[in-house]
Amino acid sequence: MLEKRTLGKTNIKVSPIGIGVMMWMGGRGLIGRIAPDVSDVVKNDIIKESFAGGINFFDTAEFYGFGRSETNLANALKANNVEDKDVVIGTKWAPVLRRARNMRRTINNRINYLGGYAIDLYMIHQPISFSSIKTEMKELARLLENKKIRSVGISNYNAKQMRTAHEELEKLGIPLAANQVHYSLVRRNIETDCILDTAKELGVTITAYTPLAGGLLTGKLHNNPEALKNKSSMYRMVAKRNLEESIPLVETLTEIAKTHDVLPGQVALNWLVNYHGDTVITIPGATKAYQAKEAAGAMTFELSKAELDEIADISERFL
Ligand SMILES: NC(=O)c1ccc[n+]([C@@H]2O[C@H](COP(=O)([O-])OP(=O)(O)OC[C@H]3O[C@@H](n4cnc5c(N)ncnc54)[C@H](OP(=O)(O)O)[C@@H]3O)[C@@H](O)[C@H]2O)c1
């Protein structure tokens, strides 16, 4: 079983594989097309399976339904009698068309939506805002000082922006805990555009989002391309592009999975959190209980160095 890891240079310990609850903003109408409804029973079961399998880390955001995903997460944790001390929650401020001072005006909304669970990690969702990164970091430091949040993170920042955030926080004696970025075996650009190297150098955790390429790396679409029909046009466009190109990769994941008596998607997650030492953790999305169980199961076996390298080699085209 993989051990818990420290978020950056903080004292917060997380399971290397957490669960992303972006889809828990779902429902009807326009949003329902992107994020279908996940019933309360299923959400509760996802939390149950997560904790049963050693997962203690959950990712949400203001932008995921402006409180819906956060509230749904809090309710499902409560339904499972999870205490605040046993869970690590990351949420994010939506910076577009806003200034940093908006954080102090909206932080109590986040706290209320999370219904008594602390914000263990507060991230700037993306580096697009009316304020500079430096001003945003100062504002986050203020929230930390006022005990509204427990640690500071960023998301979708490139290497230079991450360094700026780190430097500004360092002046204030605060570690930059994590940079949440798109990273999977079919999207490996952080390995070549300095994001990963910079994170390693600065001691910042990389949180990989969309680690299963929306389910593609489980092999389910290769086995049943018809399933694509039920997906949004955006999803279909990206998946179709990767479907053909990822056949050799998914075949390799499937072969390696067989030798460990696990599933290809679990091998993909295990690779992600092990290939670069302990710098990378990940947050696969779950809309069904079995998905949380499988995500947790991805922490229960060890890939050999030869297997890790074989997977890296076969997915080289995605670098
Ligand atoms: N910071 C950012 O800008 C950003 C952007 C995107 C996402 N995120 C975060 O990252 C999390 C995960 O990202 P994501 O949902 O885009 O991508 P993902 O984790 O690659 O894909 C999740 C989807 O894959 C399918 N899936 C998951 N486990 C499976 C399994 N064991 N077997 C078969 N299918 C499985 C499910 O599809 P079905 O629902 O169809 O079953 C699920 O909704 C989000 O919840 C969010 O917290 C952050």
Where residue 15 sits, what CATH number does that domain have? 3.20.20.100
Q: At 187, give phi and psi (nearest 5°).
A: -150, 85
Q: pLDDT-based confidence at 30, cuts 50/70/90?
A: low
- For residue 185, the 8-state DSSP code is T
156 pocket-lining for ligand 1 (C-beta < 6 Å): yes
How far from chain centre, in Å, is Cα 312?
21
Ligand 1 centroid – CA 241 distance (Å): 18
Ligand 1 centroid – CA 215 distance (Å): 7
Q: Which atom of ligand 1 is nearest to the CA of 266?
A: 31
Q: Which atom of ligand 1 is nearest to the CA of 287?
A: 39
283 pocket-lining for ligand 1 (C-beta < 6 Å): yes
For the full predicted model, state whether its pTM sits above 0.95: yes
Full residue range of the structural domain in which residue 168 is found? 5-214+265-302
Confirm whether 241 is domain-assigned: no
How far from chain centre, in Å, is Cα 169?
22
Strand ranges, E, within 183-318: 205-209, 280-282
Confirm whether 311 is domain-assigned: no
Residue 29: predicted pLDDT: 65
Q: pLDDT-based confidence at 226, cuts 50/70/90?
A: confident
Is pLDDT of 227 > 90?
no
* Cα–Cα dist 66/58, whole Å: 17
SS3 12: coil
Total domains present in the chain: 1
Confirm whether 224 is domain-assigned: no
Q: Can you tell me the mean pLDDT for 234-257?
A: 90
Residue 27: predicted pLDDT: 72
Ligand 1 centroid – CA 46 distance (Å): 13
Ligand 1 centroid – CA 170 distance (Å): 32
Q: What is the DSSP string of 265-284?
A: HHHHHHHHHHTTTTSEEE--
Confirm whether 39 is domain-assigned: yes
Q: Which atom of ligand 1 is nearest to the CA of 21?
A: 45
**What sign has the CA pseudo-torsion 309, 53, 217, 124?**
negative
Q: pLDDT-based confidence at 232, cuts 50/70/90?
A: confident
Is pLDDT of 22 > 70?
yes
Q: Can you tell me the mean pLDDT for 57-61?
A: 98
Q: Which residues contact 257 (CB under 8 A, 6 or more apart)?
A: 263, 264, 266, 267
Q: Can you tell me the mean pLDDT for 313-317?
A: 97
- Residue 50: count of CB within 10 angstroms of its CB: 29
Residues linked to residue 256 through DSSP beta bridges, in sequence order: none
Confirm whether 170 is domain-assigned: yes
Residue 225: predicted pLDDT: 78
Confirm whether 86 is domain-assigned: yes
Least confident residue range of 119-123, 144-148, 243-247: 243-247
218 pocket-lining for ligand 1 (C-beta < 6 Å): yes
Is pLDDT of 212 > 90?
yes
* Cα–Cα dist 82/94, whole Å: 27
Q: Can you tell me the mean pLDDT for 301-308?
A: 98
- Residue in the structure block whose two tokens are 């599933």: 263
Residue 231: predicted pLDDT: 76
pLDDT > 70 fraction of the chain, expressed in percent and rounded: 98
Confirm whether 132 is domain-assigned: yes
Confirm whether 242 is domain-assigned: no
Q: Can you tell me the mean pLDDT for 266-274?
A: 98
pLDDT in tens, 160-198: 999 999 999 999 999 999 999 999 999 999 999 999 999
Both tokens of 82, joined, read 């999870």
pLDDT in tens, 68-95: 999 999 999 999 999 999 999 999 999 9
Q: pLDDT-based confidence at 28, cuts 50/70/90?
A: low
Is pLDDT of 32 > 90?
no
Q: Which atom of ligand 1 is nearest to the CA of 22?
A: 45
- In whole numbers, what is the pLDDT of the chain averaged over residues? 95
22 pocket-lining for ligand 1 (C-beta < 6 Å): yes
20 pocket-lining for ligand 1 (C-beta < 6 Å): yes
